[in-house]
Structure 1
Amino acid sequence: METEIPAMLLARSTLFPEQRFTFHSSRMRMMNVTPEELKAMDVASDRCAIELSDARCDVMAYACLVAIMAQGNGYHRNSQERLQSTVKENNVSIPVISSAGALIDTLKAFDFNKVSIITPYMKPLTQRVVDYIQAEGITVKDAISLEVADNLAVGLLNPENLLEQVQRLDHEGVDAVILSACVQMPSLPSIQRAQDLIGKPVLSASVATVYQMLKTLGLETKVPDAGYVLSGTHKCR
């Protein structure tokens, strides 16, 4: 979230030089990607929302996809509603989205009804993500788990390796591939290249988050070399 989202917003300056962004973040603690730490992380999201609301941002995004999805199907709606109320208690109105909700909403907006995914998670957590997506009416044909439990190690994974992983992934007949179903796992340098390689739309949780942020701000949803969703050339619902 803290590297790829600013990178995408900065890349827009080549297309929209008049638009400038500032990026602010507040952190929830997590060292190992376990259900217990994910639950504690989610509880801390209220504190982070209050802290960021002091900056009077134009849009706020809750980053951790699996922290949301681990709490049960459809939880992104509960989380976003709760955080929205939390922000209002600070006498400010800021739209709140989440990477989990952004991914689901973007898949639906582009009619991506069947997908395959790559995650850094251990297999049980990947299955939780698969179940969550499928509960939203989207079929997951295949999923690759890289099985990296250390959250810092996830952030240090080489995105170049995803080009090899995407070729192992069964993407026959899918509408799109989610190259990284995690905003912590780097994927941006490989999004467009993976799409060119397999000939299907490729996105990530971070790409979906930027798409929904730009949409919320009323700005053109276009970022260079960031794949199908942010190409600005495809109609969606």
Structure 2
Amino acid sequence: MRSYRIGQIVPSSNVTMETEIPALLRAREAILPERFTFHSSRMRMKHVTKEELVKMDADSDRCALELSDARVDVMGYACLVAIMSMGHGYHRASGDRLHGVTVQNGAAAPVVTSAGALIEGIKAIGAKRVAVVTPYMKPLTEMVVDYIRNEAIDVGDYRALEISDNLAVAAHDPLNLPAIVAGMKTDDVDAVVLSACVQMPSLPAISLVEAQARKPVISAAVATTWSMLRHLGLQTRVPGGGTLLSGAY
């Protein structure tokens, strides 16, 4: 029985990724032999604004260095909008740069960005067009939609919940999400992105919305967990993780 160290680079006000990713991997532990421990380093950010996101991203190298000191087996950059706010395709540049930090520290570790994981997860399930829910203000939501479209994924209907305070995002009740999705046009999409944000909780609603919409449902946290497992070479089957974490992808 091997134990893997999961590292996360998180905004200082993020309290969700350190709950949802462990919850998913603990659920996996109930059916598969591998075990996981969780380790974080924080970048300062309180409000989800372009200015704070840019400043925060500049601190990610320090976090990668700190986590590589702990010899983590995989590292996740747990802020989707920070990556997407830096320009088209930035998840690739960020991941390569942060991986380079771990190599230079003599503790090479694969680096997953939640932004890149979401793009890869959507493509893995074969979705060409998605509906998207975000907690962001409208300008940031439109930027996220544009980023996704630039990756050759069409976006149909989308919702911006317009919550700017990051702790308020974490406090949003995930059981509100089924009603939000019910009010969206989803008949013309292949999948629903229930939370294009690693701070907005959605895990309790994944299976509910899959049953309601009769579509695959993924979130940034689910996609990040899936990508981490793939980089570790482990089976991607997690109870409660929806279609992407069914083990088929």
Q: For this structure pair, what is the TM-score category when the shorter chain's length is used for normalisation?
A: over 0.9
For residues 231 and 217 of structure 1, what CA distance do their matches in structure 2 show? 17
2:115 corresponds to: 100
Q: Please, which runs of 5 or more residues in structure 2 have no aligned partner?
A: 1-16
Q: 2:224 aligns with which of 189, 206, 209?
A: 209
Kept in 1: contact 2:24–2:240 (CA 8 A): no
Kept in 1: contact 2:39–2:67 (CA 8 A): yes
SS, match of residue 38 in structure 2: coil
1:175 corresponds to: 190
String of CA shifts for 1:131-180, please: whole Å, max 9, x gaps. 00000000000110000000011011100000111101211121100000
Q: If the length of structure 2 is used for normalisation, what is the TM-score?
A: 0.92
- Equivalent residues in 2 for 1:1-237 (5 A)? 1-16=17-32, 18-232=33-247, 234=248, 236=249
SS, match of residue 27 in structure 1: strand
For residues 13 and 169 of structure 1, what CA distance do their matches in structure 2 show? 35
For residues 222 and 210 of structure 1, what CA distance do their matches in structure 2 show? 10
Structure with greater strand percent: 2
Aligned-pair identity (%): 58
2:9 corresponds to: none
SS, match of residue 144 in structure 1: strand
Report the residue type matching 2:156 in the other structure: K
Cα RMSD of the aligned pairs, angstroms, is 0.8
Cα drift, residue 107 of structure 1: 1.2
String of CA shifts for 1:111-140, please: whole Å, max 9, x gaps. 211000000000000000000000000000
SS, match of residue 221 in structure 1: coil
For residues 132 and 81 of structure 1, what CA distance do their matches in structure 2 show? 19
Alignment coverage as a number of residue pairs: 233
For residues 35 and 10 of structure 1, what CA distance do their matches in structure 2 show? 34
SS, match of residue 52 in structure 1: helix
For residues 169 and 2 of structure 1, what CA distance do their matches in structure 2 show? 29
Q: If the length of structure 1 is used for normalisation, what is the TM-score?
A: 0.97
For residues 182 and 100 of structure 1, what CA distance do their matches in structure 2 show? 9
SS, match of residue 26 in structure 1: strand
Structure 1 stretches of 4+ moved >4 Å: none
For residues 119 and 58 of structure 2, what CA distance do their matches in structure 1 show? 22
Q: Please, which runs of 5 or more residues in structure 1 have no aligned partner?
A: none
For residues 45 and 118 of structure 1, what CA distance do their matches in structure 2 show? 26
For residues 116 and 60 of structure 1, what CA distance do their matches in structure 2 show? 28
Cα drift, residue 9 of structure 1: 0.3
